[in-house]
Structure 1
Amino acid sequence: MGPAEHDALAVREQLFHERVRECIICALLFASLYILCHFVLTHFKKHADFAEAHDDEDAAVNRIALGLCTFTLAVSLGAVLLLPFSIISNEVLLSFPHNYYIQWLNGSLVHGLWNLVFLFSNLSLVFLMPFAYFFTESEGFAGSKKGIMARVYETSVVVLLLTLLVLGMVWVASAIMDNDAASRESLYALWEYYLPYLYSCISLFGVLLLLLCTPFGLSTMFTVMGKLLVKPRLLEDLDEQLSCTRFEEASMSRRISSGKAFCWLNLSVEPLRERLLAIQSKRRALELRRRASPWQRNLGYPLAMLGLLALTGMSVLVVCFHVLELLLDDAAMPRGIQDASLGQVSFSVLGSFGAALQVVLIFYLMLSSVVGFYSSPLFTRLLPQRQDTPLTKIIGNCVSLLVLSSALPVFSRTLGITRFDLLGDFGRFNWLGNFYIVFLYNTVFAALAALCLVKKVTWAVQAELIGALGEAGAGGEAGAAGDPAPRSRLSLRPGLHKLPLPVLRARPLGEPA
């Protein structure tokens, strides 16, 4: 064997080992995501749907559908981590260009991950999730032998018909939009053109959904954080709320005891019991918040609110700067590339700090979009409940999260959150090259986000000022009236007139006074 053949063999062997290494890394990453998503769905699923004592066949069908949902949720999580992983990989390769232990982190691996996420997203949206839904609803063809295989046959036929219908609609739409579509009549065009075109339409729908949900979620994040953290005493009087809640609890308890003592009064005790349970829950929550440490009350809440305000304002500023950049530089358009050139140059003018900031903003916008999605009136019913979420609702949640997460790379690149170009088939979307669509999208997002932010912050400050001035005015009026005897603390608190008064207990006949 000559030197040339030996070198060619060494090159082929090296390529083979690199390919095997990439396959192992991708398999390990996806297995980790799958296990994590399995625990998440197990936490929310309704256990009665999977009990074999009820029906072995239905339980087996539900387990298969749950496995497909777990696969789809893992793909969604992979789509969320795709762009941050690529940005971090580029910065690591820039910082350690000749390190032996990170040679596995290369452009081929990142490019393969983008292609796999695109492939699995298409597979989940077009085939797996419709199959999971129809599989749970199927019963087998009439006259066929009952069993799981009968359901599989029926579901396969329904999914095939649905696929043909969707592909026909895509073919008609592409023929209307593109005059050269008649030349793509081969079976190869199905994979190279029609499926990417279908996914481009789905991605456009996901990007539009992110446009509506993200600004709403940015304003809702302040409310969610306010419920999770303990407010400082200067914004909330816990002692007053706790005393009022205890007073209301005692009053409600006396009402219930009076209703039990005199059944002939025909009082409805059940609504009162539900109200009492709600009051007791509120009282326990207030007691827990009162026992919180001072640093949690006085430091944690302001820092969290300032952090949310800074991230939201920074996102709006980045988008506004990108709008100006679109007007001045044509290179700001979100175009895709086919070769992943990692480790060449940083994708942020601030270097590693800017790249880290981009990753934080991407995660923050994704979290805000999910919060806004589940807080909107149209999708509130999809919010999963712990140990009480039926399988059909799980399928709906997985489809919604997949649409949102698979559109996240396009969303981030369109808004200029990052300069990392879209790899693989993500950069083949036709509408990304339309200047008017991209410019209008950035302008609308900046306007909606700024409007929600100003509205949320100004209304919160206005409510606090009105409350403070109202209490101060009430105290001033009381002092100006010259009241010789100071009123008690409880009588000055607003809202006590709304509390239910205690029921006077009637004395039965014959009982001594």
Structure 2
Amino acid sequence: MEADEVSIREQNFHSQVREYTICFLLFAVLYIVSYFIITRYKRKADEQEDEDAIVNRISLFLSTFTLAVSAGAVLLLPFSIISNEILLSFPQNYYIQWLNGSLIHGLWNLASLFSNLCLFVLMPFAFFFLESEGFAGLKKGIRARILETLVMLILLALLILGIVWVASALIDNDAASMESLYDLWEFYLPYLYSCISLMGCLLLLLCTPVGLSRMFTVMGQLLVKPTILEDLDEQMYIITLEEEAIQRKLNGLPAIRGEAKGRGWPATGVKGISSTLENQTVELERELEKVKCKKTNLERRKKASAWERNLVYPAVMILLLIETSISVLLVAFNILYLLVDETAMPKGSGGPGIGNASLSTFGFVGAALEIILIFYLMVSSVVGFYSLRFFENFIPRKDDTTMTKIIGNCVSILVLSSALPVMSRTLGITRFDLLGDFGRFNWLGNFYIVLSYNLLFAIMTTLCLVRKFTSAVREELLKALGLDKLHLSNNPRDSETKPSANGHQKTL
């Protein structure tokens, strides 16, 4: 008996060590990838003092950690779905004994824990630490900045807890009594994370339909379009003439400045002409960059093979249309399931354990389709997030993104990725049950919230797609009716700035 107990304890110990090792290796890979992504967009710092360099390095480490956690949250559902199918196909295989339900549950719990840690502690600390300078009267240095950051974090925590306590008191008087104020870990933190998860799902509800329609435009910009009824040689000739004309204007501006100085004009007049010429130089350089970009795209289209021009672009567009249609159909079927079967609720079904039964009707093929759709929805939500006007300034630029903007992007991606498993299960994209704290959100058990979420997603996605594919017809109708001058088209960005006759930009 004692030998059996020792053997069981040894097996449990080895299982725990194996799970921790696998989790560490997975996170290490995600951290390295996240580090290369952030350093690609991070602005190259000039010569800084040792103090600022240390602060930037710590903020970079925390941002990389947060982005790695976001990537792990995105991979939770796909990894769990594929693991379930592998365990069903090879239940007794020796080489996949490490893949079990305990490991999957551990990954979900770690993702939930690190998401809370990054959202409530690490990212606020990184932001306040980056912006801090130390309290007045204290000696400047890292310690003073850390002290100010900790004070700001304590004040922020008190503010958030006060808001959560008031909100919970308004909703449930018994649960929000003064006695439960001390029950921080069991009630308030899960309640707060549930509210943030709901906000993340609402943000996904806003971004994903926009991103699904925007994906066609983005892929059209990345791929080479077919050259039907187009003369690329003529377009190249026109672009080359435009580039040469702008270059001649730029070369002639210094001569105008020198001529003004040579005529003995007053200093104020020369200064005014110089400022005007500088503004024109900036505008011409900006215009020259746009022309060069167009020329590069035309050269790429000209060098592309016939297969790439005539086959890849239509195939990708058809693939995007199929994926979007399947997503909308799955949501429509899920709405019907919600109306007739209460087990379709994301919180209502207990479901079998890992490796006991297939959660997809079509087996491994259906699981692969679910994984593709989950990744497609995540990419579409990110594209839609950066397409919204309110978040346009958040778009990271290569080698020119400040650390503050990187922190904002990491927080946004973390909120979206943490809500992705909840949204996928709520919309019926997958039948895999939410594990850990992801399945304990209060609002998941509310039938009206879940049904409204599905209806809004289906309606908004359909409207965005109809608006996208009928834009060309609508613009032609406006031109035929003579209403195109009223700027009623769906492209407001194109009509915001138009060049006037004197070359300056007019804002409409």
TM value normalised by structure 2: 0.86
Asked if the contact 2:345/2:444 (under 8 Å) is kept, the reply is yes
Structure 1 SS opposite 2:54: helix
Corresponding position of 2:6: 9
How far apart are the structure 1 equivalents of 2:133 and 2:360?
Answer: 55
Once the two structures are superposed, the pairs formed by residues 123-272 of structure 1 within 5 Å of their partners are 123-182=117-176, 185=179, 189-234=183-228, 236-253=230-247, 255=249, 264=259, 268=277, 270=281, 271-272=283-284
Deviation string, structure 1 residues 250-302 (Cα, Å, up to 9, x no partner) = 44455556666666597946244543343233223212211111111001100
Consecutive unaligned residues in structure 1, runs of 5 or more = 468-497, 501-513
Superposition deviation, residue 426 in structure 1 = 0.7
In the alignment of these two chains, the number of paired residues is 465
How far apart are the structure 2 equivalents of 1:419 and 1:19?
Answer: 28
1:415 aligns with one of 427, 440, 461: 427
**One-letter code aligned to 1:27:** F
Asked if the contact 1:216/1:452 (under 8 Å) is kept, the reply is yes
Once the two structures are superposed, the pairs formed by residues 381-460 of structure 1 within 5 Å of their partners are 381-460=393-472
| The structure with more radius of gyration | 1
1:104 aligns with one of 98, 102, 109: 98
Once the two structures are superposed, the pairs formed by residues 23-172 of structure 1 within 5 Å of their partners are 23-48=20-45, 51=46, 53-172=47-166
Deviation string, structure 1 residues 347-399 (Cα, Å, up to 9, x no partner) = 11011100000000000000000000011100010111111111110110011
How far apart are the structure 1 equivalents of 2:21 and 2:114?
Answer: 17
**One-letter code aligned to 1:89:** S
**One-letter code aligned to 1:440:** S
How far apart are the structure 1 equivalents of 2:61 and 2:179?
Answer: 36
Consecutive unaligned residues in structure 2, runs of 5 or more = 261-272, 480-498, 502-508
Asked if the contact 2:444/2:450 (under 8 Å) is kept, the reply is yes
**One-letter code aligned to 2:30:** L
Structure 1 SS opposite 2:225: coil
How far apart are the structure 1 equivalents of 2:72 and 2:285?
Answer: 47
Asked if the contact 1:339/1:423 (under 8 Å) is kept, the reply is no
Corresponding position of 1:369: 381
1:18 aligns with one of 15, 20, 32: 15
Identity of aligned residues (%): 63
The Cα RMSD (Å) is 2.6
Superposition deviation, residue 305 in structure 1 = 0.5
Asked if the contact 1:336/1:422 (under 8 Å) is kept, the reply is no
Structure 2 SS opposite 1:407: helix
How far apart are the structure 2 equivalents of 1:143 and 1:339?
Answer: 61
How far apart are the structure 1 equivalents of 2:202 and 2:20?
Answer: 34
1:285 aligns with one of 280, 284, 297: 297
Q: Does 1:301 align with 2:313?
A: yes
How far apart are the structure 1 equivalents of 2:77 and 2:375?
Answer: 10
How far apart are the structure 2 equivalents of 1:386 and 1:339?
Answer: 45
Larger deviation: 278-287 or 327-336? Answer: 278-287
Superposition deviation, residue 108 in structure 1 = 0.5
How far apart are the structure 1 equivalents of 2:408 and 2:22?
Answer: 30
Asked if the contact 2:169/2:177 (under 8 Å) is kept, the reply is no
How far apart are the structure 2 equivalents of 1:408 and 1:134?
Answer: 28
Asked if the contact 1:340/1:423 (under 8 Å) is kept, the reply is no
**One-letter code aligned to 1:354:** G
Larger deviation: 237-246 or 155-164? Answer: 237-246
Asked if the contact 1:91/1:346 (under 8 Å) is kept, the reply is yes
**One-letter code aligned to 1:34:** Y
Superposition deviation, residue 38 in structure 1 = 0.9
Superposition deviation, residue 242 in structure 1 = 2.1
1:339–1:168 CA distance, 2 compared to 1 (3 A): farther
Deviation string, structure 1 residues 6-57 (Cα, Å, up to 9, x no partner) = 2122111111111111111111111111111111111111121xx5x42110
Superposition deviation, residue 106 in structure 1 = 0.5
How far apart are the structure 1 equivalents of 2:189 and 2:333?
Answer: 34
1:240–1:152 CA distance, 2 compared to 1 (3 A): same
Superposition deviation, residue 152 in structure 1 = 1.1
Structure 1 SS opposite 2:386: helix
